[in-house]
Each structure stands twice: as structure tokens, then as C-alpha cells.
Structure 1
Amino acid sequence: MNKPISGFSKFSKQEKINWLSQTYLKDSDTSVAVLEQYWHENEKLQQLHDEFTENTLSNFYLPFGLAPNFMINGDLFAIPMTIEESSVIAAASKAAKFWHSRGGFKATVLNTVKIGQVHFLFKGDKNKLEDFFNFCKPKLLFAVSSITKNMEKRGGGVLDISLRDKTESLEGYFQLHCKFETKDSMGANFINSCLEKFSETFKSEALNYEQFSPEEKQIEVIMSILSNYVPECIVRAEVSCKVEDLSDDKLTKPKIFAEKFLTAMKIAEIEPYRAVTHNKGIMNGIDAVVLATGNDFRAVEAGIHAYASRNGSYSSLTHASVENGIFKFWIEIPLALGTVGGLTNLHPLVKVAMEILQKPTAAQLMQIVAVAGLAQNFAAVKSLVTTGIQQGHMKMHLMNILNQYNASNAEKDELVHYFKHHTVTHSSVSEQLEKLRA
């Protein structure tokens, strides 16, 4: 079919499914049944999910799990995590338990400034533009007073507006670089509304600015949009203990472990191929909590990976040191999160997640998310420099393999017991299952 469909968004859900079935689905009855089996029986709840986005056909489920025993700044947390990958929640839980008896996690929010920009082109005298900006700045702030009124009551609002000259990179290109405090809101709609009002006011004031020539009056705004790069919205999380206290039942040579751990960290700092996988493991923990709490994991991912490249080369987000016999492991990352607005007030499971976390502020959620990423990374690097990562990961992946082969509950019980003492691979599971069924 080469002809585009018209008016698809106006179809009912059933009409959309019928069109999809007739146009693209070869085994339409089976596929349609799969779509329908994930509908909520509660019609009101299903309507709520349908209205989260557009052209919805069904619901896509991800596991909602829990990682307990996180001691953060002296308080004990159980952290909700939404993720489909095997071993992530298990590894986070293991790291939480490991550090619980060694002082727990310390976390601090260093700053909460968020950024938005008005990108525009100006052809004329830069000095006159600077004078115009200084003249116009109070008018810009006044123009958004109705938008910022409620935010200011909560201690937020517009922190600053500056003019940035970017003409060395692109001819005629300037920015209004704007800083915001949005408190417990992620603030995207608030920031974008302010920016669009700045843009409108900036252009209209330019038309009446007597010092501008007719050409200079025609400021061309290209776009007004928040940035997901928030290098001034930073949280730090860390753990530390004496090197000898790193030992446990399986880790009997803590000094050697600490040395290997530090070397692994240095490799991740200098080698981008390793750093990408290293940071992906961190994001396993971060994204899982961001998803569970109804925040935007795509924005978080983009901002964090940009931050990992801020010095000109992609590098590790975590770091470690040993000084005076003390092992220290830490992370500093940009996180723009919200605990009010968006899905946090709508999605029933997000509400439960927030309740599990004792209804945190945005700053507290930043700390919890950073700790989850640090814990995940510690567990991964610890495995890599000791037993190797596959031993634990494949044991957790075993159930996925068994489900691919449609193993019965009895077969699962038998093979889970068998692979407690044998290496898990796809072929070994297949072989043992065939023997069992024979």
C-alpha cells in the first residue's frame, strides 16, 4: 500500500485496529487478540491510558519491581524500578545491602538551575543589540509575570536572562540564555511558556526601538525551547569505607579488589568504548527509577550523556579513589526531575511509586535516582573485576530463556535447581530441557 491514510487520528480505537489488521498484519486474528488482551478491564483506567498519548491501540507493560535496603542520608528506602532487563534490580538490591552495613549512601543536591533559550538571528550592530537587550530585559521579565506568579509563590521563577553572541559558529546567531528554578516541577511547560512570551516581547519591542535601523528591527526568532542539558542542576551521591571493610564472604582480598576497581574506573574515564557501556549500566539504575516515577527518561538520558562529554571526550560518570586507606566511590550528574505535574498526578502506579518513596520533593528524588545509578554501577564493576558479569546475569536471564521454550512450571523448578551449579547459556538450557522432556 503506497497511498497515505487520511484522518487516522479521528478513527475510533477499533477502527484503527481494523485498518492495521487489513493493511499490515498477516496473522491478524492473533495480533489483534494480543493487542486486546492488554486492555484494562476497568474502562475508566483504560481511557486514562489511552489519553496519555495519541493513536493508542493497547498498553505496553513493563515490570514494576522494588530494590530494598537503600540507606540514603541515614534514612532507609525501598526504591521502585520499572525495567525489563534481567539482573538490574537484583544487582541494585545487592549493592544496597552491601553498603547498608558500611555507612550507606550520602547524597547532596548541588544546584537546581534549569535552562531555556530563545534562538534568533540579528543582522546589524552588535553594540546596539547589547544596548537594546539591556533596555528590554525588564520588559521581558514583566511580560511573564502572570506566568511566573504561582511558581514564584513556591520559591521558583526566572533567575536570569543573558544575551549570548554565537556569531562565530553561525552568522547572525544570538541567544537569550535563560535560567529558571522550577522547584518540585520538572518545569518544561512553564519554561517553554516563558520563552515564547520572551520571544514575542523581544520581537515587538525591537520594532519600536528607535536606535535600530529598519533592517535591525526585523529580529528573526528561529525557535524558543528549553534545554535538556542542565549542567547547573547537579546531584552528587557517594559511598566510602576503609579498604579492609570492603571484604565480605566472597571478597577476601579487599586491597587487591580496590586496586582493580580503581583501574577499571580509570579505563572508563579514558576509553570511550568502555565509557559508553559503563554509563549504560549506570543508566540501567537511573532510567528504571525515572520511569517508575513518571519522569522523562529520554530527557534525562540526553542531558546525562551530554554531561559525560563536557570535557571534549565521552567519559565515565562515576569516579573512585583510595586516600589514607579510605575507598571512595561517587557520581555527579545533571538531573531535571519533577514530583508534581505530568504523569506524577495521573498514572496510578506512579502515585504508588511516589508513596513508596515517602512522597519526595524533586531534590530528594534527584538524590534517590543518583544513588540508584551509583549502586547499579558499583554492582556491575564489582562483578566485572571479580567473577565476571555473565555468571550473575545469565542466572537471572535463565527464566527468559525457559519462557522462550515454553517450559512448564515443573520444568522451570527442575532447571533452576540444576543451573545453581552449572553455567547458563542458551544452548545448555536447550540441551537440558530436551533431556528433561525425553
Structure 2
Amino acid sequence: MTQSRWSGTKDLTPAQRREGLVERTGLDAADLTALDPADGLSVDAADVLIENVIGVMGVPVGLATNVIVDGEGVLVPMATEEPSVVAAASNAARWAHGAGGFHTSSTGPVMQAQIQVVDVADPQAAKSRILERRDELIAAANEVDPILVKLGGGCLDIEPRLVDTAAGVHVVVHLVVDVRDAMGANAVNSMAERTSDLIAEIAGGTARLRILTNLADRRLVRARAVFPADALGGPEVVDRMLEAAAFAEADPYRAATHNKGIMNGISAVVLATGNDTRAVESGCHAYASTTGRYTSLSHFEKNADGDLEVTLEVPMPVGLVGGATRSNPVAQANVKIIGAESADRLARVITAVGLAQNAAAVRALATEGIQRGHMTLHARTVAVAAGAQGDEVTEVAARMVAQGTVRSDAAEEALAILRSERA
């Protein structure tokens, strides 16, 4: 079983962290070689993944520690360019560690495709005709991917809707599909294209768009964690965090930034595992608006013991088969580190990290402010941009933080002084 509790990681070198990762997960060292750029995604491999390839771009991959999801320890790779994200998720996971970590549930790997039918003379009657031939349409959809059906997935239902648009009433038919361990875009899109002509014939109209919806509200994952008041800094901190969360629920301007903090965690793991960050992000933000008003994706409450309890519910369309998850060696290595044997398990881990990131950000905002911790870590990036190398990076960053000025000119000045001192 993975030992997710890991202190002192910030003081180790990348090589030492990989060695510790092997010890804690039981993986072979060879499983992690792709995390070294020299052995990661090559230009030749990238050339078959997308068009007009000219190279590859590296993104730092950090390791979120202390995470427990449904009783199992997990170390979580996060691909992000933003300082403080990995540290924040690890800290929040540590606060929840003693209370059992993160508890999750899901609705299963169900995606939907939409077939838009226009020029229908009798939309209400067309809806009824489609439902009358539901079984026939499900069978036609499942002929597209017999392997998916054999694995226990496939089209589960047909749901026609009437959508009143500026161009008239459209009959929009949803194919509800269990995609198993795939993200599912290819499967549902193929089913939509194969069945669209038959659906249009039944409706008495013309098929237009045939594509999945990224509002994956049949593929929800929920995460919950208890953060003891003592771990957060006391009852006053809990109350301040509740005030901050209430602000996010009530005001879309605050909610946009609040949810961005959630996505800092979610998108970093989605990217690290080769999944589609844009699909997940669009689905989550759309889900935040389903009440007719954009609001917070998470909810903060004080439980009977006075501790903070946070819940998060989001669409999470991620997979383990197909796409970059299988073709990018770095993504493969990161999936092995997480140890997820199903797309559902991966989705639960990702959601837990999003909750952790959110809790850490809200605590920072409610106490010392976001800049203190963020700028301390950002100072290292600024130091590197100013030309600092090796141990100069840490020293230049420390001098800027001590002065309270983290800027390129301050970094250049600190670096010049440091080098004159060492001359």
C-alpha cells in the first residue's frame, strides 16, 4: 500500500524524490524514467499525436503528498507551471490526514452525445416517435462499438429534448453511454454519427450537429473531507473560511476565482495523466452555472464538533484508455504512480486533489492572504529568470522575500550583490 505521508520532500533533489517514490509505491525505477526529459516524450512521438509538430514543451511535474482517498494512501503527480499549487494541495491533505483524508462517491462513467435535428414540423410528436423506437436506437448505437458493450458499457438510454432557439424549435436527442475506462469522446461521437440519419428520419427533420456534450452531468464525482479546527489554526480560522466560502457561493465574481483555485488542483492532475484539461474545465464551469447563476462548486460547513467539513461535486470525464494517456510515456508513468486501475478511481483522486487545493487557498485568503505563501515560492521563479543558478536561486529568493519585494529588478539587484559578496 502506498505511504502518502511524506515529510521533508521540499528539501530533496528530484532524483531523491523519485527514489523515495519507488520505496513508497513499490514501483520499479524504470517506471519513472519517462519523468526525465531525456527519456520522456520525444519529438518523433509527438509528431504522431498532433499536427505540424515542431517540438515539445516541458511542464514541471510535482508530487502531492499526504493524500488519502477512501482509506488508501496515494501520491499524486501534478503538472503545473504555477508555484504554490503542489505545496498547497499537500498541506491541505496533511490537515485532513488525521480525520481520514478524502471520502468520495461517483455516478459512474456515463457520457452523453447530442444529435441536433432541425426543420421538424411536429416537435412534440417527433419526441414521442423517438421514444417509441428507443430500443431500436439503443441497439443501433451499440452496433458501433461491440467491444465496449462486451466490457459492460455501451448505450444505456435515448433521451429526446425540445430546445427553443432563435432558429426555431430543435429536437435534440441525447445518447446516454457508459464508456467504462475511456474518456468517451470517440465512442459517443461515433454513436451519434451512426444513428443521426435514423433519428432524423423518425423525427421528420434534418440532422445537423452530432457530438458529445462536455457538460458531463451524468459523470459526477463527489469528494468530502473534514479539516479539524486545530489543524487549520483554531475556531476563528474556521469561521473566517466559512465567510469566504459564503462569499463565493453568493457572488459570481468571487466564485470565478474560487473555482479557478479548485481547477488549479484538478487540471494539474488531469494534465499529468494525459487527459483533456479543456473538456474537464468547460464541464466544471458549466456545472457551476446549472442553477441559472454561476456559483461555487464547493460547499463549506462547520460540523457538530466545530471542525470544517468541505464537499465538492464536479463532472469528471477522464479515462485510462485511448488518447495521450496511453501514447505519452510521461502520462503513463504518472498513472502508474497514482495506481488507478479504473477511470473511476482516477476521477476520485483528481476530485480529492481539487478539494484539497480549494481548502488550502481559502484558508490562505482568510488568514495571511494569498500572496505570502504564493510569492515565497514565486520568488524562486523570478530568481531563475534573473539569471540565478544552483544555490543562488534559493539565496536570491530568500533575500527578495525578506525585503518584501519579489520583482525582476529586485532579483537582479540581489543576484549582483550576492555574486559580489562571493567574488
Distance in 2, matches of 1:43 and 1:292, equals: 13
| Root mean square deviation of aligned Cα | 2.2
Cα distance change on mapping 1:319 and 1:299 into 2, 3 Å: same
Of 258-267 and 393-402, more deviation after overlay is shown by 393-402
SS of residue matched to 2:143: helix
Matches within 5 A, 1:167-316: 167=164, 170-203=167-200, 205-206=201-202, 217=204, 219-243=205-229, 245-247=230-232, 251=233, 254-316=234-296
Of 302, 323, 331, which residue of structure 2 is paired with 1:342?
323
Distance in 2, matches of 1:120 and 1:259, equals: 51
The residue that corresponds to 1:62 in the other structure is: 59
Equivalent residues of 2:383, 2:397 under 8 A apart: no
- How many residues are paired up? 382
1:433 maps onto 2:415 in alignment = yes
Distance in 1, matches of 2:316 and 2:361, equals: 22
Cα distance change on mapping 1:257 and 1:145 into 2, 3 Å: closer
The residue that corresponds to 1:151 in the other structure is: 148
Equivalent residues of 1:398, 1:424 under 8 A apart: no
Cα distance change on mapping 1:44 and 1:237 into 2, 3 Å: closer
Distance in 1, matches of 2:395 and 2:59, equals: 27
Unaligned runs of 5+ in 1: 1-39, 207-215
Distance in 2, matches of 1:261 and 1:190, equals: 42
Equivalent residues of 2:240, 2:366 under 8 A apart: yes
Q: CA deviation at 1:170?
A: 4.2
Q: CA deviation at 1:401?
A: 0.9
Cα distance change on mapping 1:242 and 1:344 into 2, 3 Å: closer
Equivalent residues of 2:261, 2:358 under 8 A apart: yes
Q: CA deviation at 1:435?
A: 3.1
Q: CA deviation at 1:72?
A: 1.2
Q: CA deviation at 1:329?
A: 1.0
The residue that corresponds to 1:36 in the other structure is: none
Unaligned runs of 5+ in 2: 1-36
SS of residue matched to 2:144: helix
Cα distance change on mapping 1:146 and 1:404 into 2, 3 Å: same
SS of residue matched to 2:145: helix
1:396 maps onto 2:377 in alignment = yes
The residue that corresponds to 2:360 in the other structure is: 379
1:317 maps onto 2:297 in alignment = yes
Q: CA deviation at 1:148?
A: 3.4
1:102 maps onto 2:88 in alignment = no
Deviations 1:254-274 (A, max 9, x none): 111111000000001111111
Equivalent residues of 2:163, 2:170 under 8 A apart: yes
The residue that corresponds to 1:113 in the other structure is: 110
Distance in 1, matches of 2:257 and 2:131, equals: 46
- Overall identity of the aligned pairs, in %: 35
Query: Given residue 324 of structure 2, which amino acid in structure 1 is its aligned partner?
Result: L
SS of residue matched to 2:217: coil
Query: Given residue 353 of structure 1, which amino acid in structure 2 is its aligned partner?
Result: N
Deviations 1:296-350 (A, max 9, x none): 0000010000011111221111111113224211111111111111112111011
Cα distance change on mapping 1:340 and 1:416 into 2, 3 Å: same
Distance in 2, matches of 1:292 and 1:393, equals: 21
Q: CA deviation at 1:202?
A: 2.5
Distance in 2, matches of 1:416 and 1:123, equals: 66
Matches within 5 A, 1:24-63: 45-63=42-60
Cα distance change on mapping 1:93 and 1:424 into 2, 3 Å: farther
Query: Given residue 409 of structure 1, which amino acid in structure 2 is its aligned partner?
Result: G
Of 364-373 and 319-328, more deviation after overlay is shown by 319-328
Cα distance change on mapping 1:73 and 1:128 into 2, 3 Å: closer
Distance in 1, matches of 2:40 and 2:77, equals: 26
Equivalent residues of 1:115, 1:178 under 8 A apart: yes
Distance in 2, matches of 1:349 and 1:42, equals: 9
Deviations 1:90-133 (A, max 9, x none): 11112122221232111111343311110011332345424532
Q: CA deviation at 1:422?
A: 4.2
SS of residue matched to 1:275: helix
Deviations 1:175-229 (A, max 9, x none): 11221111111111110111011102234x44xxxxxxxxx84x21111110000
Query: Given residue 275 of structure 2, which amino acid in structure 1 is its aligned partner?
Result: N
Deviations 1:326-380 (A, max 9, x none): 4211111111111111112111011101110113311111110101111111111
Q: CA deviation at 1:169?
A: 5.7
Distance in 2, matches of 1:144 and 1:425, equals: 57
Query: Given residue 382 of structure 1, which amino acid in structure 2 is its aligned partner?
Result: R
